[in-house]
Structure 1
Amino acid sequence: MKWLYKYDEKFNYLPGEEIEIEEDGDIKKGYTDVRPQDGLYKGKYNEEKRAWYELATREYIDSLRPNPLPPPEMDLLKQQNADLLQQLAESEERAENQSKNLSELIMLLTEKEVI
């Protein structure tokens, strides 16, 4: 027994239309015993070369791919935590600078005997 793979009048592969015949049986019109390779999106048969090739464009293939899944919740929480730690460090640095500036201002006013 051997499998035959069907194509239409334009030689486009028709998946699911395969038939099985005896090993020495005649190949019907619109069929071939050349198996299409895995991974074809829109297979097209070339009778002269007895080979299948990809007819689908890159844009068509890309349009069939699902959108990437959002990152897992744990990854989002880790990123938010890192962002908050960065903001905290920046706030502490600003507070330290303000405290330093205030101390310098008080010392300057004391030296000038303003306070």
Structure 2
Amino acid sequence: MWIYKYNDQFIYMPGEEKLMNEHEKMPEGFTDVPPPVESYIAKFDPVEHKWEETATQEYINNLKTKPKPNDLEILKEQNAFLTKQMVQILRDIKGLKSL
């Protein structure tokens, strides 16, 4: 059976799982209860014998990456930037002509 490690604060330690024979004694800091598949900071409750999610929504949101813009979005941004530059250049030229 697979066992899952948690640290001294009962936080799940991903990658520290071990395969153990059923007749062996459970080592300290491990449980046979699998943590949630989609968890960020899972904490084990030894009294309830279950995992809880302890990550805040802000922490979770910060981990999510923004999708890369597609080609059309990039072109729109470049077009807006160039249009803004062109307007500024035309204003500068108009100001020089009036001198």
With normalisation by structure 1, the TM-score equals: 0.60
Which residue does the alignment assign to 1:10? Answer: 9
Residues matched between the structures, number = 77
Would you identify which runs of 4 or more consecutive aligned residues in structure 1 move more than 4 Å? none
- Residue identity opposite 1:61 in structure 2: I
1:68 Cα deviation from its structure 2 partner: 2.6
Higher relative contact order (CA 8 A, sep 6+): 2
Structure 2, unmatched stretches of 5+, are: 80-99
Which residue does the alignment assign to 2:44? Answer: 45
Q: Deviations over 1:46-90 (max 9, x none)?
A: 00111111111000000000113214428x67xx8xxxxxxxxxx
Distance 1:21 1:54 in 2: 26
> Which structure 2 residues correspond to residues 1-115 of structure 1 after superposition, within 5 A?
2-73=1-72
Q: Secondary structure at the match of 1:4?
A: strand
Q: Which has the larger radius of gyration?
A: 1
**Percent of aligned pairs with the same amino acid:** 38
Q: Which has the higher helix share?
A: 1
- Residue identity opposite 1:30 in structure 2: G
